Each structure stands twice: as structure tokens, then as C-alpha cells.
Structure 1
């Protein structure tokens, strides 16, 4: 496909997402199934345009003075693929599949306007109602923090130390120019996509099939490491989902002790079995949602809660989610977080640790939930200083890097974000149960 066909396809997909309020991944998949002539490079380039348009929907719309799919896709093309309106017109000349573009004046205005006069929420590329939440979470830097959630993300991998090491994985993936992650000692990073490129499908690589590595954002890797899981311990991964943190915990525990992987949703839990087998994990026991966990009450050294949340910290990867999020959905999530904290805390042994993690950057889901839990359990749990824990568990991370994520401490917890730490947005807090 030429550029014109790719632009038309992206416009069609955005219109479908807008009309049916459906996830972008579903819309892209359906388009690909109904347009099988499109090759993998075409699908990747179209996906880039769609994702870029959604990431910066508000600022692109303000600069184009319209928020139509045509305007947004044209803006994304100007920002990432061509050097200006004339280059765009030249690339589309003679292409019978090319869409009708906004006029030259509109395209030139887009390039001349960086939306610096726009309202703060527009510059931040978030809905208006979320602006107070971001300001409360990040203070005067909130616009820059929110805007960083609109950048293209890297592809992060976690080395499975049960089967391999970072040098081996770096060598195996050399064609893709991987680099060690800056913070995680078991992380490998492939840089964000440029232009109409695409990330490699690392899951077809021999190293992945052999269980040498897993796809996992560096922030999620840090959350598992900072839980404090040690060889020989007893750990309950209370909201295990597909098992990403269970796998990371097993590596930290050197396949010893016991990890109990539980989730209330059987469908979310289903992929964990194959992942555990491929990774060579022997110290994890998966619990069906119907299983009786009463024998684990008061017996766990660590209970990790990867809590259900709005996912605001993952907007670089799921930009459509920010336009579907509502105040009602946020209120539902905070109620679920309170409930899961109450339920999971029963499994922590005296002196043990309750670890609360979200992939959200909103204070109402993070520090507020921890503080509410502490208020309801006065004297039962005390917050752990995550700055000190960082220095203890990750002593080899340079002081310059160490100071960056710790700047996000709140209620004893740690805030990570694309701008603060170069990771997805995460909140990590640990509470020690009274002895």
C-alpha cells in the first residue's frame, strides 16, 4: 500500500472507534481481517497513525481546528512521517486511494501552532475532568507529566534469570538494537518506534520460545522487585492476572519458597499456565477463583496486590482508554481497590508485608487508597519507606537514577511515570503488618 491507502485506512478505523466506542486493538484487528491484502508493514504503519492520532487527539484537534478522523490522521502524518504539507501532497500525488486532505492553510497552521495558547488540559491531551486529578498527583509539572503519557512507548523485556541472563538476551536480540534498562537490573529495552516502523515480534524469537525473557514494562519489573520477595519466602500474588508479576517474583525468589497465584477472573488467569511452563517456574501454585484460600490466611510473608485500576499509567500503549474513562468508572475502581485491600490483608502474617501496586498515576487510586486503608486498620499496618527499600534492593542503580523515581514518594509509596522514570505509570506502596 502507498501512503494514501494507509491514511484512508487509518481514517476509516478512527471513525469506527468513534462510532462504536470500541477498543483500538479490536478495530485494528477487524480491519486487518477484512483487508487481507494489507501486508504486515502496512498494518503496522496504519496502526502507528491510529495510535498517534489517539494519543494526541486533543492537541492535534486544537492545532487543526477540527477533531475529525481526517484532521487527526493528517496531523499524525505531518508529525511523524513527512517534513511538511508540500511533502505530504507530493507523497499522495497520483494515489487514487488517498483521502481528501484538509487545505494547505490548515496543514501549515498545524505546523506553526504547538498549542501553547491552548487550555492546560488540551496541552496535556487529557479530558477536562481529569485535569484536577493530574494536578493533585504531580503539582506544577502535571501538564508535562500528562503529555509524556502521549509519547510512543519502548518495548521492554524482563530477563528470566531462571533460564538466562541479560548479556545472553542482549546478544540474542542484537538485530533489534536492545539496551539494558536504566533502572531494572533484569530489564532490556528496545527503543520506541520511529516513523512508520514497527517493533519486532519478539515472541517468535528462539529466546522467547525457550523462556529466556518475557515482555514486561520496566515499571512492572520494578514493582515485583520492590515487593521484597526473597528465596524461600511465602508469597500470595492476589490479583495475578496473566501472571507477569508471578513470573518476575519467581525469578527474584530463585524458584524456591512458594508463590500462590490467584485471581478472581478465570479468563484473565488462563494464560498463566503456559507462561509458567515456558519460564521453568516450579515454585508457583495457581489457584482457581473457586478455590478455598482459608489455609493461607495469616501465613504469607508477602501479599502482592496488582490492583484493578483505570490504567492511566499505560496510556502510551492504550491511548483510546483515556477517552473512554469516566468519573463513574473511576469511582467503581476505587471501590474495588478498597475491597481488594481489605480482602488481601487477611493473608499477611504478623510482621509480613502487604504490597499495593497500580498502573495508575491518579492519587485517588494510589496514596488516597493506602491512607484510607490505614485509617480503617489503625495500628494494624504501618507504611514502609519505599525510598529506603529502593536503596536496599536496587543498590547498583546509579544515584542519579535512584533520585528520580524517589521524587514521586507519597504516603510512603513510590510513583513512576514516563517523565519521572522512563517507565509506564505505576504506584507502589508497601505496608508492614503489626507483629
Structure 2
């Protein structure tokens, strides 16, 4: 594909999303109808689409609208691209710019456009992050680092990094977690590499790994909101643990058996109705459903679909999860709460509310992880009975 054809493809996908199709579905539909596109073409088109999602307000401002074409004009203009060489109308390239599209507006000055956030959430960002709000908002506009979790039960980061280098995958140590390696080059080779296929590495954000590294890892451990099971797999690396997985929607755990087998471990899954009989657990991890605001670099669509009403609903879900998980924790056990959110309403405020409802509990550990070059924004707290 020519550079212009890639822009046209991104416009097509953005238009499909404007009609209500989720980003991943729109990408898949385009890919299936564009068998001619090579892997580099698909990666470039994907980057365009998700760059727009991360910087949607800026793109709309510089492009003069919300259509796929306007958003791509705005994104490329903000990136300093030569639009005349991309919008030529030749082959599969988009048509040349109309006179009205030639006008370049002055730089934006309003916070919402500069921060690329919905208006309603800016006060929440300021209240939650204080002086760091602007830095976090800007960090969320960039691409997220690609990070590997080394299976410490099978190898060590130094050895794995050297083996990856021989395969053309360059990595560096990530300070956020001892098992984390940040991929510098060759990320598209990972899933087909023998190290990945043999379970020696998994793709996992470094902050997510840090949550596991910080928590107690002994005895019977329940990953209460397991999802795909990334944290359960991380816990299973450590000796002396017996790990169980649960999710209110078991379909989310469908890939876990294969992933566990690849990693050389067994993680039994527990149905919700069976939890009381299987309890108590020495450690219960609640990686609770949340806004995902700390991971909006990866799931940028989420910041445009989140509403104040949904955020309020999530806080009630988080409260109910904490209450239920507390009942599953042994007398001297640890309840670990975690989110990939930067909003205090989902983090510190939820713990304060829990401790008000449960005065016989206390917080023994609390940590925030920033949105930066090392990983996503996360929050975690350890709770124990007094």
C-alpha cells in the first residue's frame, strides 16, 4: 500500500466507527476486506486509527470536523505531515484538499482540546491528580510501551533478554517490576517467537506486573476478577502459592487454560456459586472493573465512551466487589484491591468507603503507579483485618 492508501484505509475505519462500530471490529472488518494489505500496512493503518483516538479533540480541531477524513487531516497536520503528498487522489489515495480544508487554525488554547479529554472529566482529573493532571493527560496521548513478563519459574530476565536479542527482539529492563522487560525493537516478532510459544514470556504491562510483585504470594490465592488471567499467571510464577481464578463472566477466562499450560502451571477456575465452599483464601486479589483511565493509551476509545453515569455505576460495582471479596479472605489474610485507573473516586475513595463500612479492617500498603514510559497508571491497596 502507498502512504496515501494507508490514510484512505484509516479514513474508512474511522467512518465505520462514526456509524457505531467499535474500533477493533472496524479494524477487523477492514482487514478482512483488504487481503492485499501486508502486515506493515495493517500496523501503519492501526497506528493511524489509534493515534486519532488518543488525540481525537486535537485531530478534530485541526481537521475542522469529526468525519474520518477531517480527523485524519487534523492528525496529520498536528504531526507536521505533508498533506499534499498524501491527499493526491491518485490510486487509492484520498482526494486532494478542498479550499476550506487548506485553512490551518491557530493553536488550540482550551484545556479539553490540549488534554484530549471529554469536558466533564477534567474536574475529576484535577481533583484526582492535582499538579500531575496535565502531565498525565499528555502522557495518555502517546503510544504505550510494549512490555513482557518473564516467567520467573522458568528463566530470568537477563537470560531471556539475551535470547530475545538473538531473535531480533531488543529489550531493556523495566524498573517497575523485576519480571518486566520493555520491548525496544521487534515487537511484531514476539507472538511467533519460541520464548512466547514456550511460555517463557507473556505480554503484560509493567504496572500490572508490579501489582503482583507487591502483593503477598503464599498459600491459597484467589484472583477474584481474573479476566484473561494475566495476574493469576504472574502469581503462579512464585513458589508456595496455589492460585485460583474467578470471574463473574467465565467466558473472559476462556484462554486461561491454554495460557497456563504454556506457562507450565495449573490454575483452577471457580464458578461464582462455588466460591463459598472453596473459601477462605489467604490472599484475594480484586483487579476491579474500572474506567481504565490509566490505560487509555492502549484503549483510547474508552475515554470517549465513558460517561459520568457509568463512572458512578463503576464505583458501586467496586464497593460490592470489595465487600464480597472480604468474606472470602481468611482471618489473617490479605485483600488486595487494584485498578488501572488514575481517578481517586475509584481508588482512595473506594478504600475510605470500605474502611467506613468495615471498621475491623485496615490498609497496610498503598501505591500509585504513574502513566509514563515504564507503564500504565495503576493503583493498589492491601487490606487486612485489625
Tell me if TM exceeds 0.5: yes
- Identify the residue that residue 259 of structure 1 maps to in structure 2: 243
| Alpha-carbon displacement from aligned partner over 1:188-241 (angstroms, at most 9, x marks no partner) | 11148xxxxx841411111011110111000100011111214xx221111111
Q: Does the 8 Å CA contact 2:169/2:190 hold for their aligned counterparts? A: no
- Identify the residue that residue 346 of structure 1 maps to in structure 2: 327
Q: How far, CA to CA, are the matches of 2:15 and 2:187 in structure 1? A: 25
Q: How far, CA to CA, are the matches of 1:323 and 1:274 in structure 2? A: 33
Q: Does the 8 Å CA contact 1:348/1:433 hold for their aligned counterparts? A: no
- Identify the residue that residue 51 of structure 1 maps to in structure 2: 50
- 1:281 positional shift: 1.3
Alpha-carbon RMSD across the aligned residues, in angstroms, is 2.1
- Identify the residue that residue 210 of structure 1 maps to in structure 2: 198
- Identify the residue that residue 234 of structure 2 maps to in structure 1: 248
- Identify the residue that residue 415 of structure 1 maps to in structure 2: 368
Alignment of 1:262-301 (within 5 A): 262-282=246-266, 284-290=267-273, 292-297=274-279, 299-301=280-282
Change in 2 beyond 3 A, CA 1:355/1:325: same
Q: How far, CA to CA, are the matches of 2:177 and 2:103 in structure 1? A: 43
Q: Number of aligned residue pairs: give it.
A: 384
The unaligned stretches of length 5 or more in structure 2 are: none
- Identify the residue that residue 431 of structure 1 maps to in structure 2: 383
The unaligned stretches of length 5 or more in structure 1 are: 193-197, 387-412
- Identify the residue that residue 316 of structure 1 maps to in structure 2: 297
Q: How far, CA to CA, are the matches of 1:100 and 1:93 in structure 2? A: 6
Alignment of 1:5-404 (within 5 A): 5-20=5-20, 22-80=21-79, 84-85=81-82, 88-91=83-86, 93=88, 95-102=90-97, 109=104, 113=107, 115=108, 117=109, 119-174=110-165, 175-191=168-184, 199-230=187-218, 233-251=219-237, 253-254=238-239, 256-282=240-266, 284-290=267-273, 292-297=274-279, 299-378=280-359, 380-384=360-364, 386=365
| Alpha-carbon displacement from aligned partner over 1:68-97 (angstroms, at most 9, x marks no partner) | 3212212333455xx543xx3235557232
Q: Does the 8 Å CA contact 1:74/1:101 hold for their aligned counterparts? A: no
Q: How far, CA to CA, are the matches of 1:150 and 1:25 in structure 2? A: 19
Q: How far, CA to CA, are the matches of 2:44 and 2:320 in structure 1? A: 42
| Alpha-carbon displacement from aligned partner over 1:241-277 (angstroms, at most 9, x marks no partner) | 11100111111x22x3311211111100111111111
